[in-house]
Structure 1
Amino acid sequence: MPKSTVKEKSRTGSERYIRFKCSLQNTILDVLRQRPGWQEVTGDSDWDFYWCDVWWMKETFDRAYFDDHVRINHFRNHYELTRKNLIVKNLKRLRRQIERESGKVEAQKCDFFPSTYELPSEYHIFVDEFRRSPGSIWIMKPIAKSQGKGIFLFKRLKDITDWKKGTEYQRLAERDGGPETYVVQRYIEKPYLIGGRKFDIRIYILVTSYNPLKVWLYRSGFARFSNTRFSLESIDDNYIHLTNVAIQKTAPDYDPEKGCKWSTQQLRRYLIAKHGQEAAERLFQQINNVLIFSLQSTQRIMINDKHCFELYGYDILIDSKLKPWLLEINASPSLTASSKEDYDLKFGLLNDVVNILDMDNRLTGREKRVGGFDLLWDDGPIFADETIAADCLNSCAGGTMNSFLGCHNDRIQNLQDIYQAAAVSKK
């Protein structure tokens, strides 16, 4: 069990080190090993910081004792936000609440997820909706899988029947003791295309508390493109319809050097050039709403614990009318890099997660920006400083939220500035 293990290195107590454990062998381990004053421990050794997997949370968290300073990278019931069926249930409940309290117009701000039903429990409700929209395309997703596994498109009820009779479905049902739970969603048939290809946006959000809700938005992310031009003629081709890198990299003509990604900075510049500043800013403000409303939908049921934080990977799709749609939220977004650019992004991202947690006690706690993260919400919206917003490339100035997704990410300079300012204020 973790105990108070922040140890002194010298008799004066002027130097201390932080013991960490990490269950992954990828970028996050590199980040932790390179932090000055941090020391890796293994086995049953005491630790102060643990980047664990979700299974450890399930098996161990409730039985462990933690000192105040200990930090762990998941909330106990994180799945309320990241399970595909549960997030939809929670969003529907939030929408009903907003409609009762503020009316239908305000509740429409929650209309950022497609019509969704859980199978098999809501099969008959789904069938009624399906028959009201003949010819529509639907997408089936297992609730607890990632990287595009088990996903397929269909437009006939017979397709579901045939699929359930298939050997793969039967094998999984036998292994898991019953049929797996799926969600079925109306497919977005008119996505926004660039170069004729579909894409979605991976956005990184850090939540350090649910009560009060405290949310940080990372400036950099990426758009993931399909490898094949979009068409509804072939709904069985995953290279057209699924943008997951795990799917796309298996395409025969996939170029690992080039990949299928744009940075959010590239995407933002493209949208502004194509549609103008106002339309692009309106889109990014709507994305902010998706992020905050989705988190608020679980705020009352999430088990808040001062030891816990969570880095979420949001997947957002834009349609042809520049409307964002929430596709998925990941509690364990991939931290394995697919290229040097991807490694640099994730290394900076993860470093700044640890910087915000501030186990080294170097910050004042009043910062609105730390590295590449901007404080988006702290028991209410955080608004951008006009002087800072004016200096940011294509920023959201003018009294809007402190959101700079896709803006210039001069994180190293920011860290130098805030640490210097914090050192002066502490003297």
Structure 2
Amino acid sequence: MGFAASVLITICAAAGLEIILDLYFWDTNVKKQGPSDNPGWSSIRYKVYPDINATDNHLRHVILLLEKMGYKQAPIYDSDWDLLWAHEYPFLNASLSLQKVLYHQIVNHFPGIGFITSKVHLSTAALPFMPKAFRLPTQKYDFLKYAENNPDLLFVEKHNNHRFINIRSSSSINLNSSNSFIQEFIQNPFLVDGHKFDIGVYVVLTSVDPLIIYIYTGDALFRYCLAKYYPFDARDVDKYVVGNNYLPTWKVHSLIKYYTTLGGSMQATFDAYVKDQGMNPSEIWLQVEEIIPQTILSKIHEISNKLKMYQSGIFFELLRFDFIVDDALKVYLMEVNMSPNLSSAHFKKNSLLYDQILYSVFNLVGIGSSLKNNRQKLHNKEEIVTSDKNIVINLNNCVRHLCHESCTTKECELCLSCLNVNQVNILKKAYYEHLHKIDMKRIYPKPVANPENFDIEAEVRNLSTKNAWLARWYYWKCKENRSWCQ
């Protein structure tokens, strides 16, 4: 064997020994610093409020999906948690210390959301797409004037402390009743096989200021009244009230061929039925997408003021907007539900709907991020998904106006060099949501379909400063990358 060959063998052997030693020490260190010993490897933690027991079914889908994603449940008053899933409004419970929530902790409600989920607050807000409503006895004279001008109307009478309702004419209502309200009854509902129904649309609010709203497009919840609407009898609430034991889509005769035989969703099934009647269901969904932002905007100042008390943390809101439709396809908003029902205990076939809604929500807001399945320390973890370069838009404009030197002109408001830390975080969050929206569709700021035919300045003219700023950013993202257009 020559000298050169001997040297080569020696070098290779030394290198091999070094690799073996490196692998040994890596393996030893990993075993020593595994999940049980190294806090950096511990599981992400969720907690539920109020605490639940093993027989509770209302959060079953939530908990099963969280645990599939690697979350472990923490005690309710433990301060070490990543997600708080509250089925009830949690901000009145001082022991939860939510005003001290940390920057990475996620809460599934916004402070002040009750301004739109309280039926009395909402129905008496004089929104044009809600049936006219009055509080008693404070708005008694307003009601009398309205009833005089509309003598053929019927009204729903509801007391705030129970769920029972009555349909009455204006002359039979007790105007001195306290703690109740009355609302105009829509007498000409669109019917499917003679049944009145409501539509539940799932909505996610991810930011308040600026406002960002998504709707779930994978399906909607259709609930049909048990009894046929005609002949109408106000004493039979099953004709006009959707109860817990409602008639599901798969038991409505004319819908079976679409839903059961052909495998359509509830929404696709309904749309097919409407088309069979010679009508256009898109008229309904266009109204829905206009009503939802207007509703939230009507109470946004009250919600924003509540949110100012909470300086850190990540808040979002999953809501269900309930609508009815009249025989001319005009859409009316009836109520907005905080913590909407996600239990399939009563209707097993709704199980997939709830799982898919939650999967989309969890991904959208960061609960389901693949980088969060443990707390392992990872250098620049956030930048792997969203970095500064991902939020940059309109570079030519920024150079033309020398925005790297001065930020005094309006043209520089979206240039990276002129953004403050909070603005950068807002845009990175918006970019993250776009990447992870699954079956969610952003409806506010208004999506742009074709930037060449979209007047962005006309669109933002009546928006708040922050909402207009974000709307312009979305517009430029669409203009530069058509995957951002909707």
The answer, yes or no, to whether TM exceeds 0.5 is yes
Q: Could you tell me which amino acid in structure 2 is paired with residue 50 of structure 1?
A: L
Point out the structure with max Rg over C-alpha.
2
Alpha-carbon contact 2:222-2:249 (below 8 Å) kept: no
Alpha-carbon contact 2:44-2:82 (below 8 Å) kept: yes
User: Residues of 2 paired with 1:198 and 1:373: CA distance?
Assistant: 28
Deviations 1:274-312 (A, max 9, x none): 335xx3223211111111111111122213355321111
Alpha-carbon contact 2:224-2:249 (below 8 Å) kept: no
Does the alignment pair 1:271 with 2:274? Answer: yes
Map residues 119-198 of structure 1 onto 2, 5 A cutoff.
119-143=136-160, 149-160=163-174, 179-180=178-179, 182-198=180-196
User: Residues of 2 paired with 1:256 and 1:374: CA distance?
Assistant: 24
Find the partner of 1:356 among 351, 360, 364.
Answer: 364
SS in structure 2 opposite 1:336?
A: coil
SS in structure 1 opposite 2:199?
A: strand
Alpha-carbon distance, 1:339 to partner: 2.2
CA RMSD of aligned residues (A): 3.3
Identity %: 19
C-alpha change, 1:230 and 1:369, in structure 2 (3 Å) is farther
Q: 2:295 — aligned with what? A: 294
Q: 1:216 — aligned with what? A: 214
Find the partner of 2:105 among 57, 70, 74.
Answer: 70
Deviations 1:10-54 (A, max 9, x none): 889985531001235433443344333211112422211011133
Q: Could you tell me which amino acid in structure 2 is paired with residue 313 of structure 1?
A: R
In the TM superposition, structure 1's runs of 4+ consecutive aligned residues that sit over 6 Å from their partners are 10-14, 254-257, 259-262
Does the alignment pair 1:20 with 2:46? Answer: yes
Does the alignment pair 1:231 with 2:230? Answer: yes
User: Residues of 2 paired with 1:86 and 1:134: CA distance?
Assistant: 26
Q: Which runs of 5+ in 2 are unaligned?
A: 1-32, 260-265, 372-384, 387-431, 455-486
Alpha-carbon contact 1:27-1:343 (below 8 Å) kept: no
Tell me which moved more, 215-224 or 38-47. 38-47
Deviations 1:130-153 (A, max 9, x none): 2332232101234476xxx22221
User: Residues of 2 paired with 1:226 and 1:366: CA distance?
Assistant: 37
Alpha-carbon contact 1:27-1:346 (below 8 Å) kept: no
C-alpha change, 1:12 and 1:367, in structure 2 (3 Å) is farther
Q: Which runs of 5+ in 1 are unaligned?
A: 1-6, 93-109, 165-178, 387-397, 400-427
Alpha-carbon distance, 1:255 to partner: 8.8
Alpha-carbon distance, 1:129 to partner: 1.6
User: Residues of 1 paired with 2:108 and 2:91: CA distance?
Assistant: 9
Q: Could you tell me which amino acid in structure 1 is paired with residue 193 of structure 2?
A: G
SS in structure 2 opposite 1:329?
A: strand
Q: 1:372 — aligned with what? A: 439
SS in structure 2 opposite 1:291?
A: helix
Does the alignment pair 1:53 with 2:53? Answer: no
Q: Could you tell me which amino acid in structure 2 is paired with residue 150 of structure 1?
A: F
Q: TM-score, normalised by structure 1?
A: 0.70
C-alpha change, 1:31 and 1:218, in structure 2 (3 Å) is farther
User: Residues of 2 paired with 1:225 and 1:355: CA distance?
Assistant: 31
C-alpha change, 1:144 and 1:343, in structure 2 (3 Å) is farther
Q: 2:68 — aligned with what? A: 35
Find the partner of 1:199 among 173, 197, 200.
Answer: 197
Q: 2:120 — aligned with what? A: 85
User: Residues of 2 paired with 1:55 and 1:209: CA distance?
Assistant: 18
